[in-house]
Amino acid sequence: MNLSERVADLKARIHRACEAVGRDPATLELLPVSKKQPLALIREAADLGFTRFGENYVQEGADKAAQAPDLGFVLLGPLQRNKAKPALQHFTEIQSLDRPDLAERLRRLAEELAVTRPVWIQVDLWDEATKLGGCTEQDLPDLLAALGDAPRLPLKGLMAIPPPENEGAFRELADLRERLQQDLGRVLRLSMGMSGDLEAAVAAGSDQLRIGTAFFGERVY
């Protein structure tokens, strides 16, 4: 199956998931995850109308961004403080903000570089942080305080990678989003759902699906 066929199948699957819960597919963003995929295949996806791609590693994403300045790359993977500067230079968004010290460093660097980069807070409600990164609900106030209202790091929403065996995880995330929206008095988006669980994410109200294998096919390591 080639890329256009996989994408057509994926879009049909998303449409069915939306129809099942009465959602408009236009309210969902499909973010292709291009980790370990060649630039030629990313260019094929761009020809199909996709302009934003998710990357897990700073160096790999930075290299692709340098070669394809007409496309936007979003950082999904854990970010170390010593890689904060290249992350701000090469990625259009950062979805893996998960601790106060990182927020403070990003704030300083964004001012120095005079760049504006929307950020998403990666949350972890299931004690998965040691494996995948993420901020617990208890630590969210400290992270939000460190982020503040930094104009160069506007808070766009929440991102999460729930454990696959937890059927209620997406609902927990949706509930957390609702509580935060009330506390902050602003709209937040939810980035949750991947190739294997997008239907549950759509049903729970995800605004963005991060799809790798079902979009590009198996990765080349």
| pTM confidence score | 0.95
Please report the domains of the chain, with CATH numbers, ordered by start residue: 3-216 (3.20.20.10)
pLDDT by residue for the chain (221 residues), tens only, comes to 899 999 999 999 999 999 999 999 999 999 999 999 999 999 999 999 999 999 999 999 999 999 999 999 999 999 999 999 999 999 999 999 999 999 999 999 999 999 999 999 999 988 865 567 899 999 999 999 999 999 999 999 999 998 887 878 999 999 999 999 999 999 999 999 999 999 999 999 999 999 999 999 987 66
- pLDDT for res 127: 83
- Type of residue numbered 78: P
Task: DSSP for the chain, please give it.
Answer: --HHHHHHHHHHHHHHHHHHHT--GGG-EEEEB-TT--HHHHHHHHHTT--EEEES-HHHHHHHHHH-TTSEEEE-S---GGGHHHHHHH-SEEEEE-SHHHHHHHHHHHHHHT----EEEEB-SSS-HHHH--B-TTTHHHHHHHHTT-TTS-EEEEE----TT-TTHHHHHHHHHHHHHHHHTS--EEE---TTTHHHHHHHT-SEEEESHHHH-S---
